[in-house]
């Protein structure tokens, strides 16, 4: 299969779902087109044209990465005076902050929160479209990509959470999706951020990966070893680029892997995605990440435990951690009184129900009134951020949870 065909396959892998009708999606598509027409950021291209105030900030991490953040300080047309509760939205892997804005305002979490009285802050992770700068490194330098999700938990989250805390003078609420839940859980387990976070809502929580059910994902995770990293010869993984499509081709050639099934099964059968939103996601999302991040995910899958990145030798691990093997993240060490909402889907093949249950087992000693688990049987991985009915199914309860623990 040729390059163009594989490009189509990998985009469909991460986002194809049931096609529904959605009023207002055409207008949202026109706004997003300005991202290509000019070098506009999220505020200019997407948020302000919808009638919301929007501000842009730059935040530098302790290891020198310069991240862009967007802020929607109030609802459309203003709102009540006084301090609003800040909430930080953290996207997952292969995504950026646009994830929270793809649907029309009445269905996109960022807008829904702003219209419900929150001061909304949106992050864009290192290496993605609006966060590709560093104080001394260029993205063409492999050293720029020498990080895994460890660094996102150790540097990016403390930088962004700390910045919002400093700007607002308030503890904040947190929403993570997919990898945005893993980084938060990892940080919480080490006692980080908990002095600045009131509560956290974790959509499709990712911690354990042993039971993800897609044969494509399992095959890819098995293949993404240190040897594969060396074979690729690159540090950046762009799912739309040559490396991404070539890697997918190698995975699809493995025995027992059928790439024609992959289009509908990689994330699980998303029940409630709109046709136009899927098109916009394919066109504007699918952001680069580091190869090391994907290797780290594969280590978690193969070993069944959540550890820091394994550098591949006892000598390298000793240099990084002072020990021959990477230390483990202990999820039971998350403070028992930190309010947590876990919302997960019955059809999610990446954040499988069994893996979420392993996480809930780790949280079995959590204060009963501070832990809420919501299983949405009909949802898969992307329904939680792009579903046309996510406001009714997930977001209304999320807002109630934040008000209770605000």
Distance CA 177, CA 184 (A): 10
Altogether, the residues listed in the chain come to a count of 406
210 annotated active-site: no
Cβ pair 122, 97 in contact under 8 A: yes
Strand 371-376 and strand 340-345: the pairing is: parallel
Catalytic residue (choose from 348, 352, 362, 383): 348
CB-based contact 13:278 (threshold 8 Å): no
Helix ranges restricted to H, 304-370: 314-321, 353-362
Closest CA to 341 of 197, 191, 208: 197
Q: Which of 206, 217, 210, 208 is nearest to 183 (CA)?
A: 206
178 labelled catalytic: yes
Calculate the alpha carbon distances from 22 to 15, 25, 29, 102, 182 in Å: 17, 6, 12, 12, 31
The Cα 92–Cα 250 span in angstroms is 24
List the catalytic residue out of 178, 199, 343, 351: 178
Element holding 90 (H helix, E strand)? strand 85-90
- DSSP H/E element including 269: none
**Quick check: is 91 catalytic?**
no
> Which residue in 124, 311, 381, 405 is the catalytic one?
381
Active site residues: 178, 348, 381
């Amino acid at each position: 299969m040729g390059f163009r065909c594989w490009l189509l396959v990998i985009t469909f892998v991460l986002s194809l779902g049931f096609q529904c009708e959605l009023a207002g999606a055409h207008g949202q598509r026109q706004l997003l087109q300005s991202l290509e027409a000019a070098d506009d950021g999220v505020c200019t291209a997407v948020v302000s044209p919808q009638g919301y105030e929007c501000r842009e900030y730059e935040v530098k991490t302790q290891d020198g990465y310069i991240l862009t953040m967007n802020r929607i300080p109030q609802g459309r047309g203003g709102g009540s005076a006084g301090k609003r509760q800040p909430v930080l939205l953290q996207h997952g892997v292969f995504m950026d902050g646009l994830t929270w804005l793809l649907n029309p305002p009445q269905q996109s979490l960022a807008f829904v929160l702003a219209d419900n009285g929150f001061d909304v802050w949106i992050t864009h992770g290192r290496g993605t479209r609006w966060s590709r700068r560093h104080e001394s490194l260029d993205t063409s330098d492999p050293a720029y990509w020498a990080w895994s999700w460890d660094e996102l938990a150790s540097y990016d989250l403390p930088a962004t959470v700390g910045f919002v805390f400093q700007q607002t003078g308030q503890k904040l609420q947190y929403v993570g999706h997919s990898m945005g839940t893993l980084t938060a859980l990892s940080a919480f387990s080490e006692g980080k951020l908990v002095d600045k976070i009131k509560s956290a809502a974790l959509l499709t929580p990712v911690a354990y990966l042993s039971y993800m059910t897609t044969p494509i994902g399992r095959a890819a995770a098995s293949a993404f070893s240190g040897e594969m990293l060396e074979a690729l010869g690159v540090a950046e993984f762009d799912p739309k680029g040559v490396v991404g499509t070539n890697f997918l081709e190698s995975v699809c050639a493995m025995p027992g892997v059928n790439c024609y099934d992959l289009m509908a099964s990689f994330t699980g059968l998303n029940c409630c995605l709109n046709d136009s939103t899927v098109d916009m996601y394919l066109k504007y999302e699918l952001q680069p990440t580091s190869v090391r991040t994907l290797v780290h995910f594969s280590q978690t899958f193969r070993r069944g435990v959540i550890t820091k990145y394994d550098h591949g030798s006892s000598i390298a691990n000793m240099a990084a951690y002072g020990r021959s093997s990477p230390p483990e993240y202990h999820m039971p060490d998350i403070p028992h009184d930190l309010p947590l909402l876990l919302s997960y889907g019955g059809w999610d093949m990446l954040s499988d129900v069994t893996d979420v249950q392993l996480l809930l087992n780790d949280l079995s000693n959590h204060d009963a009134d501070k832990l809420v688990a919501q299983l949405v049987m009909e949802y898969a991985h992307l329904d939680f951020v792009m579903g046309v009915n996510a406001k009714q199914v997930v977001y209304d309860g999320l807002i109630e949870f934040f008000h209770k623990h605000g």
